Amino acid sequence: MPILVIAVVIALIAALRSTIRSRAELATEVLALRHQLAVLRRQAPRRLRLRRTDRLLWVLLSRAWSEWRHAVQIVSPDTVVRWHRRGFALFWRWKSRPRDPGRPAVAADLRDLIRHMQAANPLWGAPRIHGELRKLGIEVSQATVAKYLGRRPRTPRSQTWRTFLTNHVPQLASIDFFTVPTATFRVLVVFVVLSHDRRRIVHVNVTAHPTAIWTAQQLREAWPWADAPRFLIRDRDGIYGEAFGHAIRSLGTEEVLTAPRAPWQNPFVERVIGSIRRECLDHVIIWKERTLRHHLHQYVAYYHGWRTHLSLDKNAPIPRATQPPSAGRIVQISEVGGLHHHDERRAA
């Protein structure tokens, strides 16, 4: 009963209030309420979506009618205020749009060139790159160059890993292990030493029980005449112990350790190991160390003398001379037990 009395009192107050309001206010309220009813009728249950025209209507009502907050029912008044602010920002963005073409845009190829110079020369700044562009006949301001370089780090960046490998190829070598299962379910370990200059496999050997002393001895056999490289790249395998470190220092070589779990930092020897697997070991059955060593030596001989490499301009690690047609007919010769063949010209 008290609830019914309260509802009647509220209705009477609303009726009394409506008698003292102007016809314009009443018409505006009726428009607002009918618009909300129309929105609810066209929507599916529990899925209220307002169009841009609906939002624009309430933005206009909030500007022109002071009592709009009491009439809005389907959304909160804060939502209408947010629509108004968003419309205000869009309006002034439209008003502030540039009306003249302004300074011509920098071509995409020039932007790419600036970023390429920065990537290739991490120690260069905007003045240096600007000077290089001027020498190439490209007229652009230094401020524009600095804009496309972005913010430089506080500490100078070191050269990239790829740059280090490129700059020191003649002085680099890398080592790594890989495993080979046998037909009798044993696991043999292969140690590979690769010289980056001409991608030569300097040394390869097999053992069932690798140790630091055994690995150090392989280095001495790889470079017996004190012609070891300046840098030796290796991973952080625990097999490299104190004896291995002593052997490295005695050769006058500096160790370069790759980051943990980053085989891409030792790419050349990883690629060689992949070639050995795909082109030889995946196609033969290994019984014991002697068998594996025999297949490896056969493949290394083929690899050095006949296998072409993209990085060597499609030449072999031991350069092959081009044979003219006058050298004779083409003869095909078996390599690696028939897995591969090389072709050469021989006189009849």
* Closest by CA position to 211, among listed 189, 192, 228, 194: 189
d(CA 204, CA 187): 17
Average pLDDT of every residue of the chain = 82
Q: Is the pLDDT of residue 4 over 80?
A: no
**178 in Cβ contact with 192 (< 8 Å):** yes
Strands 172-181 and 231-234: parallel
d(CA 315, CA 270): 20
Q: Residues with Cβ < 8 Å from 231, sequence gap 6 or more? A: 168, 171, 172, 173, 253, 254, 255, 256
Q: How far is CA 32 from CA 48, 82, 116, 158, 200, in A?
A: 17, 18, 60, 66, 84
User: Which tens digit of pLDDT belongs to each residue from 48-100?
Assistant: 667 777 777 767 777 666 666 666 666 777 777 777 777 777 777 777 776 66
pLDDT category at 102 given cuts 50, 70, 90 is low
AA identity, residue 224:
P
SS3 string of the chain?
A: CHHHHHHHHHHHHHHHHHHCCCHHHHHHHHHHHHHHHHHHHHCCCCCCCCCHHHHHHHHHHHHHCCCHHHHCCCCCHHHHHHHHHHHHHHHHHHHCCCCCCCCCCCCHHHHHHHHHHHHHCCCCCHHHHHHHHHHCCCCCCHHHHHHHHCCCCCCCCCCCHHHHHHHCHHHEEEEEEEEEECCCCCEEEEEEEEECHHHEEEEEEEECCCCHHHHHHHHHHHCCCCCCCCEEEECCCCCCCHHHHHHHHHCCCEEEECCCCCHHHCHHHHHHHHHHHHHCHHHCCCCCHHHHHHHHHHHHHHHHHCCCEHHHCCECCCCCCCCCHHHCEEEEEEEHHHCEEEEEEECC
Q: Is the pLDDT of residue 103 over 60?
A: yes
**Between the ranges 104-118, 151-165, 249-263, where is the mean pLDDT highest?**
249-263
Fold annotation for 173-327: Nucleotidyltransferase; domain 5 (3.30.420)
pLDDT category at 336 given cuts 50, 70, 90 is very high
d(CA 190, CA 218): 11
Question: Which residue is listed with tokens 């072999």?
Answer: 316
Q: Token digits for 258?
A: 């790759």
* Closest by CA position to 221, among listed 199, 191, 197, 196: 191
Q: pTM for the full model?
A: 0.56
Write down the domain spans for the chain.
28-95, 108-158, 173-327
Q: Residues with Cβ < 8 Å from 133, sequence gap 6 or more? A: 113, 114, 140, 145
Q: Is the pLDDT of residue 262 over 60?
A: yes
142 vs 58 pLDDT, higher one:
142
**Between the ranges 94-98, 105-109, 185-189, 310-314, where is the mean pLDDT highest?**
185-189
Helices 52-64 & 23-42, crossing angle to 10 degrees? Answer: 160
User: Which tens digit of pLDDT belongs to each residue from 287-330?
Assistant: 999 999 999 999 999 999 999 988 888 899 999 888 888 888 88
User: Which tens digit of pLDDT belongs to each residue from 145-173?
Assistant: 888 887 665 555 666 767 777 777 889 99
